[in-house]
Structures are given as C-alpha cells and as structure tokens.
Amino acid sequence: MASSPVDHLPAHPSPTLLLVAHGSRDPRHAETVRALAARVRELRPWTRVEVSFLDFNTPSVSEQLNHLAAEGARDVVALPLLLTRAFHAKADLPAVLHAASVRHPRLRITQAEVLGPSPLLLAAVERRLYETGLRPGDKSSTGVVLASAGSTDPEAIAVIAEIARELRHTGWCAVRPAFASAALPRTQDAVRALRTDPSVTRVAVAPYVLAPGFLPDRIVRGAGEAGAEVVADVLGSCPELAELTVARYEEVGRTALVGAAA
C-alpha cells in the first residue's frame, strides 16, 4: 500500500508558514490566495499554513502574528506571495515583521524569499496559456505579452524583462513585457507592437499576476482594446504555484541548517 505524507511526519513541529499576500478590495483576490493555501496544505499536511494580507483584507500580517503568538507559536516563516522583490518585500513587510518581533520577543519570525523568478513560474504561465486552447505547436506563430502589475522599482522591472526573454527561449514566436501601472509599455501597446511582427499570426496576453483584482482587470481590458486573440487567466492556485511556495518555505529551513553548521 502506498504511503501518504502523513505517514512520514517529522519528529519536531515545523515552523508555521504564514503566507503574505498583497490584498485587494476585489473579493476574488482573497479567494484565490486561500485556494493556494489549501493546495499548499495538501503538499505539507504536517505544517500549519495561515494566510495574511498587507492591505485591504483581513487578517493583516500583524493580526495573524499576534494570534499565533497568543497561541504559543515559536517559529514562523513569513512568505511573501509576490512575484518580484519590490517595495513590499524590501521595506513594507520587513518593517511589519520587525514590529511584531519587538511585541513578541519569544516569536522567531523569518522572512522567506519572494516567489519569483523561478522556472516554475514560467511553467505556470505556459499552463495558463495552454488552458486557453493553445497548443505547443502554436508557439512558433504566437506572440505573447507577459503582462505584470508594474512597479517603480528598477530591479522588479528588470526581472520582468528577463522573464519575458526566458519565456521567448521556450519557443514562443516573440515575447514582450508589459505593465498595468507604474511602468511602460502598457498591455495594449505591447499587443500592437507584436502585430507589427510579420512572423506573429496571433497575440496572446499572459497576466503575470497572482490573483484577480484592479490591475489584472486593467490588463484584460488592455488586451481587449488592442484585439488580442487570446487572454490567459491569472496564475492563481495552479499546482506550480503551490509547489514553488513549498520550495521557498523549505529553503528557509535549509538556510538555517547551513548557518548552524558554519
């Protein structure tokens, strides 16, 4: 009989995994984050997985950490559900975690790396494109707009451009980055630019965003305005995202072991 993950429970409790999402007034955002958390629990049923938000939704990061401390938790890994390392990961979240550490000195809080970049995210983008009806054989004639939410952080913008290049190397005819806010080009402009490429017979827009909300809706509107033939879904709770979330969580444990051995 095949064994289940529960048959191999670790000898000591693993740190609580606190997923930290951006948050949105759009209820679909929180629903998507909770669906991703459910997938992560399936992969690691022996780990406590909780959800928190930086803005708009509850519980906030601070509220969730207060709750965990009151329950006697000792170790928490705060994992930003962010695709690039911009302001929220560099400044906003660290400040919130530091304040929680001061309030709860017995609670050890470690911030994990953001989700991107990762080959698993490229795989998730392609999954969403194929779910629209595209097939691997369509790559050679399909141009893709990789549409991100956008950021004022130059590092984050550079990461999106690099991911677009990596996606192009998987065989798509052409790939252009685009942004819903804070940076250019906008989605509709990238779609129009691809139409000037004679080798592109159809244009697909792939939202490089985690969950629905105001900016993802702007991406969809831009795609429609410019006449893109294909618009993929957000990355959401797809298996690759759950696998990547677990990998980022486990990286924290490996880093701790290396530090202890040094």
- Tens digit of each residue's pLDDT (9 = 90 or more) over 109-139: 999 999 999 999 999 999 999 999 999 999 9
Please tell me the distance from the alpha carbon of residue 131 to that of residue 125, in angstroms, as a whole number: 10
Per DSSP bridges, beta strands 142-148 and 75-80 are unpaired
Active site residue 22: yes
In this predicted structure, the answer to whether residue 3 has a pLDDT above a threshold of 50 is no
Give the confidence band of 261 by pLDDT, cuts at 50, 70, 90. Answer: very low
Domain boundaries, the chain: 5-115+238-261, 119-231
Provide the sign of the torsion angle of the four alpha carbons 241, 247, 249, 255, taken in this order. negative
The tokens for 73 are 């938790």
Question: What is the percentage of the chain residues whose pLDDT exceeds 70?
Answer: 92
Phi and psi for 7 in degrees, rounded to 5?
-70, -10
State pTM to two decimals. 0.91
The tokens for 47 are 């780990």
Domains 5-115+238-261 and 119-231 share a fold: yes
Phi and psi for 18 in degrees, rounded to 5?
-105, 105
* Alpha helical stretches, state H, 2-92: 27-43, 61-70, 87
The DSSP code for 259 is H
Provide the sign of the torsion angle of the four alpha carbons 196, 199, 202, 204, taken in this order. negative
Number of residues written out for the chain: 262
Contact 164, 194 (CB under 8 A): no
**What local confidence, expressed as pLDDT, does residue 77 receive?**
98
pLDDT digits (tens, 9 = 90+) for 186-240: 999 999 999 999 999 999 999 999 999 999 999 999 999 999 999 999 999 999 9
Q: For domain 119-231, give its CATH number from 3.90.1200.10, 1.10.260.40, 3.40.50.1000, 3.40.50.1400.
A: 3.40.50.1400
CATH number of 5-115+238-261: 3.40.50.1400
Q: Which residues contact 254 (CB under 8 A, 6 or more apart)?
A: none
Active-site annotation holder among 12, 22, 98, 104? 22
Q: Residue 163: which H helix or E strand, with range?
A: helix 154-168
pLDDT digits (tens, 9 = 90+) for 74-119: 999 999 999 998 888 888 999 999 999 999 999 999 999 999 999 9
